[in-house]
Structure 1
Amino acid sequence: MSGRSRGYPEEASEAHRFREEPVSFVRRSGRMSDAQERAFRELAPFYLIDVPRAEAFTSVHPDARLEKTAVYGRDAPLTVEIGSGQGHAIVAAASSQPEHDFLAVEVFRAGLARTMLDADRAGARNLRLVEANAPEVLSTLLPAASASEVWIFFPDPWHKKRHTKRRLVRPGFPATAARALADDGLLRLATDWEDYALQMREVLDAAPEFARAFDGAWAERFDGRVMTAFERKGIAKGREIRDLVYRRVPRV
């Protein structure tokens, strides 16, 4: 599932006041179901990382750092999903790979609640969630070179021309993602919008921190991405799903 959201204009105002760069989301704050409310009360103490904030609610204080061993109780490879949505992909991965740790980054509260509920049912104790703006998680909260993989599946395409500046993957983003990735770590992306796929490929091809980890025009579909209703809907509408995967060039 994606990090796409359609929310309320006050979030755009918040972003304008407190951030120099436009955020790639509009935070949804609709009413949660009773089960989702219970998830926050009962499951958030275990799954949801309490992040020190700067000014905005979804910001990360520049001095905040994630202590992996303290959070997960061990030192294991870490996969980070940006815009985890309902959590289908990352819960499936976490429950099937108990030897790895996983971090879901999302600002949609109902999606975070659903992710916690599904993770609890699946017994995925190696998953944690962060309610925060993704670039701030990658640029400050995560220790440098701490992630073995970063996933960005179906981010909001901001398909109107006047909104494309809000896209997550744009010039400047590769350096942010590269900071969090370990040497030879993988950046995996997927989208059902052709022009965004082309933009992603152009931006990452030009980034000195990354090298293609695929042959041909596009990468093969990532087996670790579960097929969701969202992806099936895009296919049913005739939109081709395009995958990309890039390897973090070793630091000098």
Structure 2
Amino acid sequence: MGQPLSARLRPMNESTYRQQPVSFVRRGSRLQGRRQKAWEEHSERYLLEVPRLVADTSVHPDYRFDAAKVFGRSAELVVEVGSGLGEAIVHAASTQPDRDFLAVEVYLPGLAQTIQRAAAQELSNLRVVQANAPEVLSSMIPAGSISEVWTFFPDPWPKSKHEKRRLVTVSFAELVATSLAPGGLWRLATDWEHYAEQMLEVGSNSSLRNVHPDWAPRFEGRVITSFENKAQLAGREIHDLTFQKELPTK
């Protein structure tokens, strides 16, 4: 047998790692009750174990995700960035069995909850990964291989001094554009007005095309999650956006 993957990866310079602030803060990582049970019984099936670089949410840049090998077939791939408790992506995987889904999340209880939901329905077309999304899109997933990227209700970082930590930036938009297949879609949603305006500006000035004049109608494939329900009860308006990677001209 050959060397394990970790032994074949080239050493990296840790001093240049994550020079920009990440868009998340690590919350509690304790698992209890059903989540702990789901993790123990089903993480081997649903969790992608990826080689790390420095942090436990990093992805070594030499690692490549082989969707056909992981899922055992060739199908459209949908990636949700910040999948939370898995409500949206598990519903989508259960109603679209012809597509494969990858949930990207850093919050361990959220990953466990997603695994619990997926296992309850015995889904075979869903996997989860605990990783920093820009690293997933920049190196882990081959360019041009994603059908849709979903970014629903990312942390708004509402204080002006924290806006630099927002996920949706010009650089992130270009990572999404590179990862999408021609004709692929980037779907976004937020309940924060200022962040919605930023998303619209970022996407409109990227290499992607806004599918609508400005805001998109609500994406019917997105179920109303507990988070979105709280936003609605608080009176915050939900904004949807859809950007597309253009097909090559003939």
Q: Same fold (TM over 0.5)?
A: yes
Partner residue of 2:79?
80
Equivalent residue number for residue 9 of structure 1: none
Q: Quick one: structure 1 residues 131 and 16, their matched pair in 2 at CA, closer, same or farther if it must change by over 3 Å?
A: farther
Instruction: Tell me what 2:205 maps to.
Output: 206
CA shift for structure 1 position 27: 1.4
Aligned partners of 2:21 and 2:15: how far apart in 1? 7
* Residue 97 of structure 1, CA deviation: 0.7
Query: Would you say the 8 A contact 1:146–1:181 is kept in 2?
Result: yes
Deviation for aligned residue 1:52: 0.7
Cα drift, residue 17 of structure 1: 8.4
Quote the residue 2:243 is aligned against: 246
Identity of aligned residues (%): 52
TM-score for the superposition, normalised by structure 1: 0.90
Cα separation, 1, equivalents of 2:16 and 2:28: 19
The Cα shift of 1:96 comes to 0.6
1:237 to 213, 234, 239: 234
CA 1:16 to 1:40, structure 2 compared with 1: closer, same or farther past 3 Å?
A: farther
Secondary structure of the corresponding residue to residue 43 of structure 1: helix
Alignment correspondent of 1:149? 148
Q: Which residue of 1 aligns with 2:107?
A: 108
**TM-aligned CA distance change 1:30 to 1:131, over 3 Å:** closer
What corresponds to 1:3 in structure 2?
A: none
Contact 1:187 1:245 in 2 (8 A): yes
Say if 1:53 and 1:59, in contact at 8 Å, map to a contact too: yes
1:61-88 superposed Cα distances (whole Å, 9 cap, x missing partner): 0100001111000000000000000000
**Pairwise CA distance, 1:36:** 1.4
Amino acid at match of 2:222: R
Which range is displaced more, 26-35 or 232-241?
A: 26-35
Q: SS where residue 172 of structure 1 aligns?
A: helix
Alpha-carbon distance between aligned partners in 1 of 2:246 and 2:173, rounded to the nearest angstrom: 11
Q: Which blocks of at least 5 consecutive residues in structure 2 are unaligned? A: 1-13
**Residues 188 and 59 of structure 1, relative CA distance in 2, 3 Å threshold:** same
Moved over 6 A (4+): none
Residue 196 (structure 2) pairs with residue 197 (structure 1): yes
Tell me, yes or no, if the aligned pair for 1:95 and 1:123 is still in contact at 8 Å: no
Alignment of 1:153-192 (within 5 A): 153-192=152-191
Q: Residue type matched to 2:126 in 1?
A: L
Contact (CA 8 Å) 1:18, 1:56: kept in 2 or not? Answer: no
Bigger CA radius of gyration = 2
Distance in 2 between residues matched to 1:78 and 1:41, nearest whole Å: 26
3-state SS of paired residue (1:75): coil
CA distance in 1, matches of 2:38, 2:248: 41
Give the aligned partner of residue 52 of structure 2.
53
Task: Give CA deviations for 1:107-135 in whole Å, capped at 9, x if unaligned.
Answer: 00001001001111122110000100000
Within the candidate set 195, 217, 220, 1:220 is matched to 217
How many aligned residue pairs are there? 236
Q: Residue 78 of structure 2 aligns to a residue in which SS? A: strand
The TM-score, its normalising length taken from structure 2, stands at: 0.91
Report what 1:4 is aligned to: none
